[in-house]
Structure 1
């Protein structure tokens, strides 16, 4: 249920409007910066849309080989596609894959064509990339048909369960079992460290640490398995993975091509928690979100992570600020409200007096600020001690807060958090906890109205006021030509992590566009065209 009633928290609509205007002011210079740059991953994603796939015997993708060869010979400031299709037209190779293979051996020559040659190359590149865009469009239509055929879950919030053993062939039966036990969304966590790889692994993978590698084949296998389970259960089971890290645009593209339904995609997570260069992240993020918008994919943002490194009470307003920024960046890239799985978490120290009331205030604030967004509510992790009985109770309180405040996506908490990677039996018990609470209290959104000027009302208004103050200070009177948001990130405003724009992983993969830069994928995504 969506809470629209102004009386729930009695927020001042003028304040809410002002907060959004400040988020736009903070975000717009970053978008302008992103538009002036491209990255190696944006260009590789474009080649993937044109059909280039596969890898050499050392698992180095052909898109990396081709991109690196073009960059070494002519640079990327004009985009990768024009010199690549010029080479094909000139007979360097009969097709894109062969050209990439020749480039890997140093046997292909590239140039930056001019005049009629450039026009012809761009036309053919657009035609090839458009085929990939049409595949994404077709996959979106297929999802819509399957949802119409099998039906959506009848109850909100959707139950989101993580499955990731490292072995895709073990993940599949576990995911299917989780769906049979009541999960509506299956999330396959990526193997630790994949976000720092500047290439996408190839094929079905059977080894991963604390997760399974995100690859196109793994996406295909899991989607096919969940389609089978959806048919059996009579409800469409959604699949989630992670479009973050140094290959964010490529993974987003593969997700669109293989019909994933949700993707972790936060505007600042990679900056703060993986030390990826801010400019690289914002350029990659914008392209990836344009892909998500076209594919009808719901994004999940990562504000919950801030509360693992900063205090959940003192830093509550930074979560709200990040949600407002994520909303702005997402809508600018073309995402609709129903695609904004904005994140927040149940991470207040339970030993604090009134901790549950504080959690309710924060959850209600998010729900009321973003009434049409399927908010992603994250379970306690920071204050799980290893006491499984205490953990199970805390997860029950988390589930109750989600039911009372109308959250859209509820990630299932595990009582063995901080002890072991959950066993299947742990997941079954956790799902029992969720089912009991939602069955017993799922309708509390109708009845729960905090009293006027009571504790919850006052706390929510204070967090909103603090958010406005922080946004005001970010926008401020910037003394540099850099976007003020980048300065705030460098100062450690979010998650207590200081990340300057001149440092971080992947900076060497950022390229400033030339005046004649061309990327047919961006053109097709921004215009909505198919050819």
Structure 2
């Protein structure tokens, strides 16, 4: 039963419109590839490491293939053909030779193509088997160690030095954090390669690397055993290397990844086409790995007015849901984001926040919603900030949010100190203990302010989705519909790494993730 008196037919219409709006984007993602999608296959097949200058071997190998035969057929056939017909002992040796200009790639045909398909298929299957094993490992630990109840307390660490992050993350877990997010170094989303190894220098964050993932996961496993509850690890799958970072996250058993359909476009000026194509593959990996995605609708409200733009959050969530379902993600993996960002000076601001939060809760009843704290209206008055965070925590409890990110009273002044984090944890612990199961008792009047506001936002969402269906999602993004930022379809970074798939395109990872049988089980192609 809807507490807000939402019309089920209106909600169903909103979902149908979101599916219509998403369909051209899904078709584009199914018929194109990118450099990062192809590099992700190589990482899945086990290629790692970097040259002395820090450039990963996957980049060298993919670039060599693109320079000689293009990527519109995928890198799988040229790469595994070169392995089968040349003197190279493995992907690493082949990549080193390709970087030195000692490999001639071709598009094999006939029996040679069939052999390359079989070899590439076996390599992709082995990589996905490793991801499957890590997912099974998580399931076992959740049974043995224990899974904390909702709402999960989500806390950020990021010093730039992974070896400093680890003790901070363990301390945060001991103080009550259920999810630890390691913020990525500023600007990493704009790098068209994934740094290698453990890193000790970052800018307002720590680099996302496979080794950093491994180190932090091991540290949180240690503290999970100590505390008797599984502590989840989050990082960021966005930017120009989204598919690769998703793959590394699956291989290293991360539990959540920030992965939004439009965040990189709007806030990092990454090309829209590149983003949507990369995102489909990354979400397929997340689905296979059992990773919960966190979407970024809260960011819209840092640039747009949280009242006037409330319906754009709902529209983005519905689009994120559709893209996620198409890629294989279950509702239990949809950490849809929203935020407590209404100006506190506005009359009835808390009632408006409750309306928006309850609307999201009812539209997505089975999703582990991620609720973000106030940031835009946090200023120099730390006492007012602490109070505002308490109101945010209360709203989260009243509306049954699943994941509550810790608000910091000093974030409007400086990067919060550890003592500020402790106070923030004390705040949320008090509200969570005092409010208990308050969501069961929160029932707005059917025709009261909160219910009417929620129904109005839903109606505005339907109107916007109708316009998007008529004009196209890429046009809506170009017009600044989301986050008041205009991003044209052919602008931004990364478009040069996009290619339309040619007839005969082959990527065994995509075939396996799409549920098609691996190529090496097929009959040989005749010569």
User: TM-score category by the smaller chain?
Assistant: over 0.9
SS of the residue aligned with 2:240? helix
CA drift of 1:93 comes to: 1.2
Matched, 1:134 2:122: no
Partners in 2 of 1:73 and 1:299 — Cα distance? 36
**Larger mean Cα displacement after TM superposition, 240-249 or 89-98:** 89-98
Q: Is the 8 A contact 1:301 1:341 kept in 2?
A: yes
Q: For 1:517, which of 505, 509, 517 is the aligned residue?
A: 505
Q: For 1:72, which of 67, 75, 84 is the aligned residue?
A: 67
Off by >4 Å, runs of 4+ in structure 1:
528-531
Task: Report the equivalent of 2:484.
Answer: 496
Partners in 2 of 1:269 and 1:445 — Cα distance? 30
Task: Report the equivalent of 1:459.
Answer: 453
Partners in 2 of 1:85 and 1:410 — Cα distance? 46
Task: Report the equivalent of 2:524.
Answer: none
SS of the residue aligned with 1:192? coil
| 5+ long unaligned stretches in structure 1 | 479-483
Partners in 1 of 2:87 and 2:266 — Cα distance? 43
Q: Any idea what the Cα deviations from partners look like across 1:106-126, whole Å, max 9, x if unmatched?
A: 111100111111111011011
CA drift of 1:292 comes to: 0.1
Task: Report the equivalent of 1:17.
Answer: 12
Q: Any idea what the Cα deviations from partners look like across 1:104-150, whole Å, max 9, x if unmatched?
A: 11111100111111111011011011111000000000000000000
Q: For 2:362, which of 352, 363, 368 is the aligned residue?
A: 368
SS of the residue aligned with 2:241? helix
Q: Is the 8 A contact 1:83 1:111 kept in 2?
A: yes
Matched, 1:102 2:90: no
Q: For 1:85, which of 80, 89, 109 is the aligned residue?
A: 80
Task: Report the equivalent of 1:113.
Answer: 108
CA drift of 1:387 comes to: 1.3
CA drift of 1:529 comes to: 6.1
CA drift of 1:452 comes to: 1.2
Q: For 1:200, which of 194, 197, 218 is the aligned residue?
A: 194
Q: Is the 8 A contact 1:92 1:109 kept in 2?
A: no
Q: For 1:242, which of 236, 240, 244 is the aligned residue?
A: 236
Show the 5 A alignment for 1:225-240.
225-240=219-234
Partners in 1 of 2:517 and 2:209 — Cα distance? 27
Partners in 2 of 1:524 and 1:34 — Cα distance? 16
CA drift of 1:91 comes to: 1.4
Task: Report the equivalent of 1:334.
Answer: 328
CA drift of 1:442 comes to: 2.4
Partners in 1 of 2:361 and 2:72 — Cα distance? 42
Task: Report the equivalent of 2:443.
Answer: 449
Task: Report the equivalent of 1:122.
Answer: 117
Q: For 1:32, which of 27, 36, 39 is the aligned residue?
A: 27
Partners in 1 of 2:328 and 2:315 — Cα distance? 20
Task: Report the equivalent of 1:481.
Answer: none
Partners in 2 of 1:322 and 1:22 — Cα distance? 12
Partners in 2 of 1:374 and 1:271 — Cα distance? 24
SS of the residue aligned with 1:245? coil
Task: Report the equivalent of 2:184.
Answer: 190
Task: Report the equivalent of 2:315.
Answer: 321
SS of the residue aligned with 1:126? helix
Partners in 2 of 1:309 and 1:90 — Cα distance? 55
Q: TM-score, normalised by structure 1?
A: 0.97
Partners in 1 of 2:243 and 2:257 — Cα distance? 12
CA drift of 1:508 comes to: 0.2
Q: For 1:508, which of 496, 506, 527 is the aligned residue?
A: 496
Task: Report the equivalent of 1:410.
Answer: 404
Task: Report the equivalent of 1:160.
Answer: 154
SS of the residue aligned with 1:263? strand
CA drift of 1:92 comes to: 4.1
Partners in 2 of 1:96 and 1:158 — Cα distance? 41
Q: Any idea what the Cα deviations from partners look like across 1:313-368, whole Å, max 9, x if unmatched?
A: 00000000000000000000000000000000000000000000000000000000
Q: Any idea what the Cα deviations from partners look like across 1:457-476, whole Å, max 9, x if unmatched?
A: 00000000000000011112
CA drift of 1:418 comes to: 1.6
Q: Is the 8 A contact 1:404 1:442 kept in 2?
A: no
